[in-house]
Structure formats: structure tokens, C-alpha cells
Chain A
Amino acid sequence: RKEVEQDPGPFNVPEGATVAFNCTYSNSASQSFFWYRQDCRKEPKLLMSVYSSGNEDGRFTAQLNRASQYISLLIRDSKLSDSATYLCVVNSLAAGTALIFGKGTTLSVSS
């Protein structure tokens, strides 16, 4: 089983739509979880951390289910500017290998 798995997409949605991305991770002892955003050919940037209680930042909601080893990202009222690749990221407890990145889910929002 791969350490972090994501549906690669692409997800093609119209402006204003609600879209959800899912991610599963294999190491039950993982402790830190993040969603990063990466625009085409640019560096990944932190979108939001994911906490056990779930957290929200504007139109973005992240949730963590430790029992199922599952992370989600919900984007409401999609904007054209949300078009990007979203990377699910989990920390690894292997010595020094700080973060394990999923391969990303591509979102394309159209007008």
C-alpha cells in the first residue's frame, strides 16, 4: 500500500461548485497532516494544516479521520483561481523523512 494515496483527477467543475478531495495514508502513527497547493510548474505552498477536530479557512474545510486513516479537503463556491493541484501531505515517523507527499489531485474550475 502506498504511503499517501490520492485520486489524481482531474476534477473539472464549474465556478461556484463544491468539490471534495480525499486522501488515505498507510502509517497509523502519523501525526501531522497538511494540504498543499501547487500551481503549474511552481513550488508547493501550504494551504492548510489538518487537525483532528477538523478545521475551516474561508471556503476550505479539512477533516481528518484517524480510525480510517483518511483526510479530506472540501472547497465550497469554487473560483477560477482555485484551479491547481492539491497535495495531501503526511508526516513520516521514519528518522528525518519529515513529510510524505501524495501525487496530487488536479482541479480545473471553469466559467
Chain B
Amino acid sequence: EAQVTQNPRYLITVTGKKLTVTCSQNMNHEYMSWYRQDPGLGLRQIYYSMNVEVTDKGDVPEGYKVSRKEKRNFPLILESPSPNQTSLYFCASTLRPGYEQYFGPGTRLTVT
């Protein structure tokens, strides 16, 4: 089954404790993105990757890092999480920009 998976689905952590949210897709897509979704603000892109070893900032990259060492994986790293990073996070992939994006199930992160 074609899908995007994310882990963990739910995470409660404390300020400053490094965490990684994993994302994996099995569709051989080159383009992957991370979004955060907050009430009243909609989906905002954090980072994206056009291909292996190619990443770039989206609209709200501050406080986040990503890496793309393999085509299928695109982890999101929060080196020092803060409460304003409490949000619902989605990973997405697509064959190429402008095409339909497939989303993972989401990760609900709470930073206290």
C-alpha cells in the first residue's frame, strides 16, 4: 500500500529536550515536505527536499532541522524544542512539485 508514515503519532516533551520525528514514504517520491498546522493559521511549510541531500527552508523553518540521506526518509529534528512549537505536524511527499501531495497521519507534539 502506498503510504507516508510518521512516528511518533503523539509526543509530550519538555523544553530543550532534543527530539526527532521520523517520516518515511514508499512511493519513490523525490519531493518531501514538513508542515505544521495551527488553529487559525492553516498549514505552513517548515522545510522541503527536492531530492536526496537537497533540502531548503519553507515559510517557518526557525527551530527546526531536517536531513535527507535516503530518498524514502525525511526526519524532522527539533534540537531544543520550545512551547511555541506545540503543534500538529504533517510530513508529505509528491512525485514532483505542483502534483498531488500525500500526507502522513500527523504527529501531535506538545512541548511543556
Interface set of A (CB-CB < 8 Å, partner B): 31-32, 34, 41-46, 49, 87, 91, 95-99, 101-104
Contacts and interface: CB of A to CB of B under 8 A. Distances in A.
A87 B97 contact: no
B34 to A, nearest CB: 12
Given A34-B100, A91-B97, A103-B40, 12 more contacts: A41-B106, A46-B101, A49-B100, A87-B42, A87-B43, A96-B97, A97-B45, A97-B58, A98-B48, A98-B101, A103-B42, A104-B42
B43 A101 contact: yes
Interface centre among A31, A34, A43 (most CB of B within 10 A): A43
Interface in B54-112: 56, 58-59, 88, 90, 94, 97-101, 103-106, 108
Q: How large is the interface on B (under 10, 10 to 19, 20 to 34, 35 or more residues)?
A: 20 to 34
A32 B98 contact: yes
- The interface residues of chain A, by DSSP majority, are classed as loop
A43 B106 contact: yes
Interface of B: 31, 33, 40-43, 45, 48, 50, 56, 58-59, 88, 90, 94, 97-101, 103-106, 108
A98 B94 contact: yes
Contact of B98 (A31, A41, A42, A101): A31
Contacts of A31: 98
Given A97-B58, A98-B48, A91 B98 contact: yes
22 contacts: A32-B99, A41-B88, A41-B106, A43-B90, A43-B104, A44-B43, A44-B101, A91-B98, A96-B50, A96-B56, A96-B97, A97-B45, A97-B48, A98-B48, A98-B97, A98-B98, A98-B99, A99-B97, A99-B98, A101-B43, A102-B42, A103-B42
A14 to B, nearest CB: 27
B42 A101 contact: yes
